[in-house]
Each structure stands twice: as C-alpha cells, then as structure tokens.
C-alpha cells in the first residue's frame, strides 16, 4: 500500500510536527505535506494560538494547485467543528485525490469519523504509515483524550550505581551537558514540571525551560509540599511568568505560611493526604482541569517512589552517567520503602536506548503504562481503519 515516496513525504510531515511540538498544546502537534506530480507544493503544522490546523496551513501554501494532489498528514483530519471548521470537508472541497494518514485520532469526537467522511466522498484514504512515530508525537495528547488525565513521564539523572547525589552539599551535577539538554527537550514536550519540596530545599532549582525549541504555553511548575515548607525566597519564584507556581499541600496545612508564598506568586492548592503522603490522584485531576496533557516528574527520590508505588508512571527516562558514587549515604534514584520482593516490583520494557554525550538514556515503560506507544500494548494495525473504523481500543 505504501512505497518509498510515501515514506519520504510522511517523514517530512512528521518532521514538521516534531519541530513545532511545543506550540500545539493543548491540541496535538500535527504536520502535513501536500504533493502533486511528485513535487511538494504545500507544508503546514499546527500552532494552537494560530488556530489553523496543519492541513489548512498546508493547503493555503499550495496556492490553489491542490486538485488531484496527495496529502500526507500525521493525524487523522478532524470531522467536527471546534474552534475551527472540519479539515475533512476542506480536503474534499479542494479536490484532493488521496490522503495518507499516519495515525487515527484518539479524540472520541474524531476517531475514525474523519476517515469515513473522506472515503464517503470517493477519496482514497490510506491509514497507518509510520503510525509508531506519529504516536510518539501525540503520546501525551492521546493519554489525555483516552483517560482524562495527563501522561506521567518521570526523569532521573543518575550514576551507574543508581545514585542521584552523594548525600552531601555540592557536587550535584551528574548528567553531561548533552544529558541535561535532553532533559530540557523533555521539558519542552511537557505542560507541567513537578518536584517534591525536598528538591526545592536541597537544590533550590528554578525549574524553567531553557531549551532551543519554542513553547506556546508557559511551563507550569508544581511542588508537592505537604506542610508548606517551601521558602518564599526560593529561586523558583525569581523567574515569574504568566503561569503561577502550584503548591499542593495538606488540607490541614500551616496557614501562617500561605500569605507569604502567595505574595511571591504561588497558588496554594490544599488536597487530601494520609500522613506525609499527598493524594496524587487529586494532583493529576487538578492538572487535567488546567488542560495539562503531559506531566514531567523530576523527583526527588521519594517523589519517584510515590508515583511508582501508586502505578502512576507511564514512561520513565533514566539518564545514566558513566560514574560510580557509592557510599551508604548516597541518594538512590528511587527512595521510599521499596518493594519487598522482585515478584511485586513493577516490570519495565526498554523501548529504546541511545547516547547523550557520555551518558546513556533508557526509555522504559512499566507494564501498566497508559501510553499508546507502550511496548506492552498489543500492536494496533491500520487494517481495522481501512474501512474507516478506528481500532477497537479507540472505539467508544
């Protein structure tokens, strides 16, 4: 069904979606290429503030030369009216001959309906070209659409022996410059960044995005702080912006500290907790209300344990530096009380590993991951969409 030319043009569309991934949230990042007579005549991508979907943008750049052209798009064209008119109807009006779709839209408002509309007009629609790569780009969006909650991605920079610090002041930097650059890329893909108050007290981070890609939405910074121990003079408050710093705390909090934190730009959100442990489900629900598609959890050690022990991690990136820290006081990458036996410990599959400077990065998925690209997930094929129907896992 697909040939080398199809793959070449879809790679172009995927590159457009990937390049602009920080500009689309809370919508998915989509890329589109229009080809006629073997020549690319239009390119488009989606930027949320720009309104136009990738298909609309690509057709506009094609300057009316679209009749009998082929459109390559990384996500199924929409068939419903939202902030913009349906893209499927526009493709029909423009006289497009064929549409090649990488992946069916997980949004229940679309999910197969766009494909069905195009086919009912007599258009040829081929589905499933490079769907895995397309799934990587919309991973967080798909999780939000299918579960109602953000995708949870954890990240840790650690030594070969699994340590994130020596337990002493100073000397905290473990990852290479390239490893830290990859960490910024993960921040670009996320809508919110979360740490525990222990990280604030020990490292005093700013938790800002400092990568090279452009962001459309400000990175929402989140602190888990049961007893409101965050200092009002912490560096996280020095970098103010349109988004507040969210501090989740116990409902029975020390109210005397609230005003000082609110004065420097914090928004205090009291939620239920048991002992020292905040209700992480309530945290995710609150972030979902704020249209957060992806949450990046950067620790510390105990916070990673809390998310893992509650089976709330969808993907975990381990950035491993070629060094040994050793020592009884060194801080483990995952703390907490640990699992009693290997039988109950969560099992991971490493989807890929790659180098980042002198570091190695391992992308791991636990067996309970909700991600559409989890290696534990039964492989979907495009066959069920050739008739315009979405795969069973996406049908409501």
User: Active-site residues: which are they?
Assistant: 55
Q: What is d(CA 96, CA 62) in angstroms, rounded to the nearest whole number?
A: 12
Residue 213 contacts residue 22 (beta carbons within 8 Å): yes
SS3 251: coil
Q: What is d(CA 358, CA 361) in angstroms, rounded to the nearest whole number?
A: 10
CA distances from 289 to 197, 286, 353, 395 (A): 23, 5, 34, 24
Residue 323 contacts residue 160 (beta carbons within 8 Å): yes
Taking the C-alpha atoms of 101, 21, 64 and 80 in order, what is their torsion angle to the nearest 10 degrees?
Answer: 60
366: CB partners within 8 A, 6+ apart: 308, 311, 313, 314, 316, 346, 347, 348, 376
**What residues does 349 pair with on adjacent strands?**
365
Number of residues that make up the chain: 396
Q: Tokens 């820290």, residue?
A: 325
> In the structure encoding, which two tokens stand for residue 172, read together?
């905290």
Q: What is d(CA 317, CA 388) in angstroms, rounded to the nearest whole number?
A: 36
Q: What is d(CA 9, CA 98) in angstroms, rounded to the nearest whole number?
A: 13
């Amino acid at each position: 069904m697909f040939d080398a030319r199809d793959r070449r043009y879809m790679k172009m569309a995927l590159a457009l979606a990937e390049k602009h991934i920080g500009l689309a949230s809370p919508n998915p990042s989509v890329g589109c290429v229009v080809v006629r007579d073997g020549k690319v005549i239009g390119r488009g991508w989606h930027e949320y503030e720009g309104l136009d979907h990738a298909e609309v943008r690509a057709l506009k750049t094609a300057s009316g030369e679209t009749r009998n052209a082929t459109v390559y798009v990384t996500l199924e064209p929409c068939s419903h009216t939202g902030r913009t008119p349906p893209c499927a109807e526009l493709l029909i009006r423009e006289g497009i001959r064929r549409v090649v779709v990488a992946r069916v839209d997980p949004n229940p408002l679309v999910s197969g309906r766009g494909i069905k509309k195009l086919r009912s007009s007599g258009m040829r629609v081929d589905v499933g070209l490079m769907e895995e790569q397309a799934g990587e780009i919309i991973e967080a969006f798909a999780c939000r659409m299918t579960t109602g909650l953000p995708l949870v991605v954890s990240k840790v920079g650690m030594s070969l022996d699994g340590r994130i610090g020596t337990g002493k002041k100073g000397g905290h930097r473990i990852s290479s410059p390239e490893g830290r650059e990859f960490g910024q890329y993960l921040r670009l893909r996320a809508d919110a960044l979360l740490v525990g108050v222990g990280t604030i007290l020990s490292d005093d981070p700013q938790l800002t995005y400092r990568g090279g890609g452009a962001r459309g939405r400000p990175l929402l910074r989140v602190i888990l702080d049961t007893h409101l121990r965050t200092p009002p003079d912490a560096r996280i408050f020095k970098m103010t912006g349109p988004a507040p710093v969210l501090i989740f705390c116990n409902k029975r909090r020390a109210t005397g500290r609230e005003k000082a934190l609110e004065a420097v730009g914090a928004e205090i959100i009291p939620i239920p907790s048991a002992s020292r442990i905040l209700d992480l489900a309530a945290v995710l629900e609150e972030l979902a209300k704020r249209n957060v598609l992806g949450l990046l959890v950067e620790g510390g050690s105990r916070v990673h344990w809390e998310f893992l022990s509650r089976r709330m991690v969808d993907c975990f990136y381990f950035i491993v530096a070629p060094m040994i820290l050793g020592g009884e006081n060194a801080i483990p990458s995952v703390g907490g009380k640990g699992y009693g036996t290997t039988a109950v410990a969560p099992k991971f599959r490493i989807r890929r590993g790659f180098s980042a400077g002198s570091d190695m990065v391992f992308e791991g998925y636990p067996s309970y991951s909700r991600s559409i690209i989890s290696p534990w997930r039964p492989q979907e094929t495009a066959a069920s969409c050739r008739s315009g129907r979405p795969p069973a896992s996406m049908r409501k």
